[in-house]
Structure 1
Amino acid sequence: AVGECPIHMLFLYGTEAHLDIARDLLVRFPLIATQIYNKPNYYGENILHLAIVKREANMVDWLLSHASLEPYKDELLRARATGDFFKIGQPSYYGETPLGFACCTNQWNMVEILLKHGADMDSMDNNDNTVLHMLVICNLPDMYAKFKARWIERQAAKDKKKTIKSEKSELPKLWNRLNKDGLTPLTLAANSGRVKMLSALLQERAVLQWSYGNVSCLLHPLDQLDVGYYENEKNKNIFTLIIKGKHWHITHRMLCMTGQTIVLAGAVLKGAREIGEMCSMGFRNYVNTAGTIFLENLASIFCLGIFVVQILRLTKLSEYESLVLAFTSLVGWGYIFFFTMPFRFTGPFVIMIYKMLFNDVLRFCIIHTIFLAGFSQAFFILFNENGFGGFLSSIKQCFLGLLGEFDLDYYIKGRHPLASVTLLICHIVVITILLLNLLIAMMGDTYADVKKSAAKLWHLERARIALEIENGMSSSERKSDVNKYWVDVKGERYLQVEQVADDRSNLKEGKAEDD
């Protein structure tokens, strides 16, 4: 609402007749001078704010000097306009106090009147912005210089009045004070991109060392310019703020959104292709793909994970989103192994890892799980632990024993130390010595077997990859000239291979070895 009280309406109209009526009402009913807007939009604004915005200097002086309004003068000067209309980022963000309003609207005569009647030059708004911060935001270097000079003048007068025993104020100088963002007026100018203001402030700080004709040597203080001005605000210096300012945050946000869009689009396209391949091959054949070609099928899991993450993000379930995204990212990087398969340098190595994981390690895990369950239950009974949590603790102790990390004192201090230590020794012998060494031996055999026939296995996997790619194509795509790998001879398709004598001899030797 505009003008919640009659006195507000009179000041808003602001004609001489309306102001005369306002004076008469204020003399008759001085308490109405303290009335403020109570609605959220203009909350806290009083008649002094209105008079300043309307540039009624005579009215401002009258409000602060009239005898009938003397009891309410401090309340008028300290009033804060904190409504939505005066929030940070709004065009009318003037620092909340009447003094801030006068400075931000570039009315030095109004500032003089307010200071004459006791306005606080050290006042701050809810973001701890001082008047100097506000003048930086409003880009008023001349007003900044005047206000700073007046503050220095007042501070010098205060210092003269102080006695020797009085304690000196620990507050820093007005232009060195930090707001809630950890910025001084100077660093705020850099952070907000106020070039004119920043240039004026840097020039104002400069100290003339010497001059000769039109040549001058200036010293620029490094405080607030380089890293380390404030211990807790090491990044709040001009160079960092300019390099990593708001423009960087906007760019960073745009890059993140672009990356997310690319990943989502890729997941949609790849997912559609995987679904088409699944339909052409059949779900059973798709799932039961032999060999390391199964790595290509990880793409479908990755795409599904990306879709689930997007759904969780839309439903604001950030906790589950992070969990799913963690496993999805692992699957996505695992899919990279598929692209290393066609190369002779990395293909055989991937085959070795595949065979070790799905043959040796899988068998080891099955056998170890049986032993782990048995020993865990035995220790659970011996130590008389209660509940499922106690059983999990027993499993944890046994698993740490596999890694060689066990506390012998823990077993000795139990109710049955002899039985506990005996079981521990059996566990170490069976698991750590027997099973682990057996796993190493099996992996060594697998490595030797794969290395012996590495080239053949690599060619086999390449053939599987080619077949997998071909199965994912439609018949029209397979017949296109781009994907043609055969020659037509009298209407028949042939695979053309160039072969020399040495290759034939090698083939015969290879065939003999296979036999």
Structure 2
Amino acid sequence: MPSKKFKSPKILDAGAAQHKEHEKPIWKAVKAGNVDEVLRLCDEDIGVLNKRDPEGAAPIHIAFLYQKNEVGKALVTRYPECALHQYDRRLCNPPAAPGPYAGENILHIAIVHRDFELVEWLLDREPRLLEAEAIGSFFEPGQGTYFGGYPLLFAVASNQFDVVEVILNLKLPPIADDEKAERLERMKSIWLADKYGNTALHLCVVHELEEMYQFCLQKAEEKVHQRAACESKQPLKDQPNAEQLTPLALAAAMGKTSMFNFILEQSIYPAWVYGPVTAKMMPLVGLEQPIVNDDGKVTDAKTALECLISGHSRVTKCLPLDSHGQIDADVYAGRLEIVMLEQVKQLIDKKWQFFGRPEFRRKLRNFLVLQITWTVASVIPNEGQVGKIISIALEVVVGLLVLWKLKSEIQEILVKGIEYFAELRRASAFDNACSLPFNLLYVTGFILRRLSELTEFEGLIPWEDACFGCAALVGWMTMFFFLLGMRTTGPFVIMIREMISNDMYRFGTVYISVLMGFTMSMYMVLGREYNDIRAFFMHMDEFILLGTAGELPASMDDWQGKTNEWYAHALLIAYILFVVVLLLNLLIAMMGSTYSKVDEASTKRWYVEIVGIMVSFEGERKHKEMQIQRNQYAKDRPPEGLTREECTEDQWLQRLQFEYEFKVMDKDWQMKHSETQQKRRQKREESNSTSHVKGANLKRRANRGARADSALLDEDTKDIEEQERRQRERLQVSQADQREYVAQSMAMLNRIQR
């Protein structure tokens, strides 16, 4: 019996299929680094150069990927056209989707391998390699291998200063086609952005490259005259990406505290210093003030403060997600840390003092007037002529207030857009979620009431009551928005929100499953004889009351004498053990844990909430109105490249930029002062020591001089004494002669007398 021919299983994985393909001669020769064999195979069949493996790679890619640079250089030298090959599965046989590495070329590979000499060699051979953009899923934002697509951005993201310098200063050969020449020139521009709108500065933020960020800013200033006409005229640091995030806003959205602080420090400069206090000026554009383009229109770019109130939301695709589709907890913690940076915290405090708190009190006053007036109008007896007049007057007041609020909400939607209105987070989202539905429900109920009165159709009354009932509930729930703005109640409301959104949600998901199971079981045993759906919901109500209020089922008396009475009691006991003992205590434990977490960061969370409240207030105002408000807590400065005479007052106000003065206290100033005093004391001691040494040397020299003078004096004294001695000797000799002469004279006189 002939044996059956074995069939190998179909390979579906691209990696396994690639290894299978690489068993063929051309791939083996390339991976082995056999230059002669590769060139021989290519000379025999030039088509092997265009072969693609299941990942879309050509032989030239594999040569440089496996660092067989001699093979790659030989192929580029002999067949220059193969240098421009890109990863592309569409060129496979059979064709497929572009693949995870689509768009990558050999220059990308050389940059990632950090082979500077190879990069220079490739750019010298083929500058058009700069035009390729890696767009596969392997290079998408959120991946660890997101480097920006283009080779220049790859070099920036991999922190290679020398490669960036080479690309920026690359001299291109003359190209006849102006459009192609302009495109190639743009590929070596520091203002280059990838398909997601991210520039070199955005990539520095993603990979936290502070020195590269400063380097790119410096290059942008040096090459500002080389900007292409189609590029944005905004400064590179203010250029938003496709998600309308500037580099500063991206750092805030990603919770990168160190990078955020570094970017702020680039534009902060000192104003004055007084002892331990240093006053610094910090520009507000991009941080708190929206960016205005050269035409005087407010851009859609988000400010950093708007990103900081995003909570656990994924504001940017650059944030990776975990297996549950959530951002990392460190991101939210980083956002809270940014809010508590000294310069940001002082700005929030000052803005809350001059803008947020007055506006908050005004809105709270209007809210209380509206709700109290409506409550009084609803409960006041509508009897008699006076009662009707008061009721109608109050309803008119409430109606006008509601219309005024509705106008503000519609104005915010028209000014900011429905997307902005829907994307607001934290307290601002709570305000929008309650305020707009309340206004619409009240207006709808008011219209139904008037229609029912005019048409005398009583069928509208239940709908009218339903609208007003829902409006009352939603209206008073808006009070939580104002409670968030109070320092004493804000953390408490945050805890309630966290418990509802996290703990109650998880508990409710489990409890509904348990409730439906027990209800269905009880209905099948005791309720089917009634043949009424109300019996099902009756048992459900009884189980809910038992789990929440501990009330035993009212229908227990009806169980007596039933065949399955024992089963109903067993089911009841099981429910008590599972829900009342287990699930409710588990819920209490989860709420206790949530309370502890919120309480630890209550100050940080409250600051985030008041930022959200101020963002909500700003959405209701026009840009010019906010510019006037900023004059209360910030210093204005003229727009760059614009004088007051060149524009109207409104245009000047529209483009006005602001700086905020914040103060930094140097806590180590006294210690530094002491160290300075100590250094000065050491210098004085060293100086005194030096003087003492010099004095000693001088003294020794003086002593040596004195001893020399004493020796000379001694010699002089000896000479004088010798002279005196000689003189005395001469004098003694002369005296002796005189005595002898006198003696001779006396002797002669005596002889004469005799």
Give the aligned partner of residue 127 of structure 1: 196
Which residue of the partner structure matches residue 57 of structure 2?
4
Query: Paired residue for 1:154, among 200, 223, 228?
Result: 223
CA contact (8 A) 1:95 1:101 kept: yes
> Are residues 266 and 471 of structure 1, via their aligned partners in 2, closer, same or farther at CA, if it must alter by over 3 Å?
farther
CA distance in 1, matches of 2:244, 2:559: 58
Task: Identify the residue that residue 245 of structure 2 maps to in structure 1.
Answer: 183
Residue 268 (structure 1) aligns with: 513
Residues 42-66 of structure 1: per-residue CA shift (max 9 Å, x gap): 1111111111111121221222224
Deviation (angstroms), 1:95: 0.1
Paired residues of 2:112 and 2:158 also in contact (CA < 8 A): yes
CA contact (8 A) 2:232 2:239 kept: no
Question: Residues of 2 paired with 1:288 and 1:96: CA distance?
Answer: 62
**Given that residues 519 and 539 in structure 2 are in contact (C-alpha distance below 8 angstroms), is that contact kept between their aligned partners in structure 1?**
no
Question: Aligned letter for 2:253?
Answer: N
1:281 corresponds to: 526
Confirm or deny: 8 A CA contact 1:191 1:245 kept in the other structure: no
- List runs of 5+ in structure 2 lacking aligned partners: 1-17, 19-54, 90-98, 171-184, 293-297, 316-325, 330-496, 577-754
Change in CA separation of 1:272 and 1:38 when aligned onto 2, cut-off 3 Å = closer
Listed one character per residue, the Cα deviations across residues 428-462 of structure 1 (whole Å, up to 9, x for unaligned) are xxxxxxxxxxxxxxxxxxxxxxxxxxxxxxxxxx9
Pair 1:137 & 2:187 matched: no
Report whether the alignment pairs 1:468 with 2:555: yes
Once residues 57 and 230 of structure 2 are traced to their aligned partners in structure 1, the CA distance between those partners, rounded to angstroms, is 45
Match of 1:221 among 283, 289, 296: 283
Kept after mapping to 1: 8 A contact 2:286/2:303: yes
Decide whether the 8 Å contact of 2:205 with 2:259 is kept in 1. yes
Deviation string 1:163-202 (CA, Å, 9 cap, x unpaired) is xxxx897532211121122211101011111122111101
AA paired with 1:31?
Answer: E
Match of residue 79 from structure 2: 29
Whether the 8 Å CA contact 1:7–1:47 is kept in 2: the answer is yes
1:56 equivalenced with 2:56 (yes/no): no
Q: Which has the higher contact order (CA 8 A, sep 6+)?
A: 2
Query: What does 1:285-324 correspond to in 2, within 5 Å?
Result: 285=530, 287=532, 297=538, 299=540
Report the number of matched residues.
Answer: 305
- CA distance in 2 between counterparts of 1:281 and 1:141 reads 72
Letter in 2 for 1:208: P
CA distance in 1, matches of 2:146, 2:152: 13
Q: Equivalents in 2 of 1:220, 1:112: separation in Å?
A: 31
3-state SS of paired residue (1:220): strand
- Conservation of the 8 A alpha-carbon contact between 2:130 and 2:150: yes
Measure how far apart 1:77 and its partner are: 0.8
Q: 1:168 to 1:260 in 2, by over 3 A?
A: closer
Equivalent pair of 2:523/2:536 in contact (CA under 8 Å):
no
Amino acid at match of 2:78: R
Cα deviation, residue 31, structure 1: 0.8
CA distance in 2, matches of 1:248, 1:38: 31
Which residue among 58, 68, 83 is the counterpart of 2:136?
A: 83
2: CA distance, partners of 1:467 / 1:255: 30
Aligned CA RMSD, in angstroms, stands at 4.1
> Which 10-residue stretch deviates more, 144-153 or 261-270?
261-270
User: Does the aligned pair in 2 maintain the 1:276–1:472 contact within 8 Å?
Assistant: no
Q: In 1, Cα distance between the equivalents of 2:57 and 2:533?
A: 76
TM-score by length of 1: 0.51
1:242: which partner in 2?
A: 308
- Counterparts in 2 of 1:54 and 1:274: CA distance versus 1, 3 Å: closer
- For residue 142 of structure 1, report the CA deviation from its aligned partner: 0.7
For each residue in 1:326-380, what CA deviation from the matched residue of structure 2 results, as whole angstroms up to 9, or x when unmatched?
xxxxxxxxx99xx99x9xxxxxxxxxxxxxxxxxxxxxxxxxxxxxxxxxxxxxx
Give the whole-Å Cα distance in 1 for the aligned partners of 2:281 and 2:533: 76
Partners in 2 of 1:120 and 1:126 — Cα distance?
15
Shift of 1:143: 0.3
Local SS of the residue matching 2:273 = strand
1:288-335, Cα deviation, whole Å (9 max, x unpaired): 97xxxx7952848x99xxxxxxxxxxxxxxxxxxxxxxxxxxxxxxx9
Q: Secondary structure at the match of 2:280?
A: strand
Do the aligned partners of residues 472 and 97 (structure 1) sit closer, same or farther apart at CA in structure 2, a change above 3 Å counting?
farther
Distance 1:472 1:110, change over 3 A: farther
C-alpha separation between the residues in 2 aligned to 1:19 and 1:288?
Answer: 78
- How far apart, CA to CA, are the structure 1 residues paired with 2:134 and 2:230? 32
Structure ID, larger Rg: 2
Cα gap change, 1:183 to 1:470, in 2 (>3 Å): farther
User: Could you tell me how far apart the structure 1 residues matched to 2:499 and 2:507 are?
Assistant: 12
- Residue 245 of structure 1, CA deviation: 3.9
For 2:76 and 2:520, the matched residues in 1 are separated by 79
State the alpha-carbon separation in 1 of the partners of residues 124 and 168 from structure 2. 12
Q: TM-score, normalising length from structure 2?
A: 0.36
Query: Contact conserved, 1:124 with 1:130, CA < 8 A, in 2?
Result: yes
Do the aligned residues in 2 keep the contact of 1:192 with 1:246 (CA within 8 Å)? Answer: no
Between the aligned residues of both structures, percent identity stands at 27
SS at match of 2:515: helix
Corresponding residue for 2:169?
116
Letter in 1 for 2:213: Y
Distance 1:248 1:47 in 2: 34
- The residue that corresponds to 1:103 in the other structure is 156
The whole-number CA distance in structure 1 between the counterparts of 2:270 and 2:218 is 18
Give the 3 Å change call, closer, same or farther, for CA 281–63 of structure 1 in structure 2: closer
Give the partner amino acid of 1:468. Answer: S
State the distance in 1 between where 2:134 and 2:555 align: 70
The unaligned stretches of length 5 or more in structure 1 are 304-334, 343-461, 484-515
CA contact (8 A) 1:191 1:242 kept: yes
Q: How far apart are 1:130 and its partner, in Å? A: 1.0
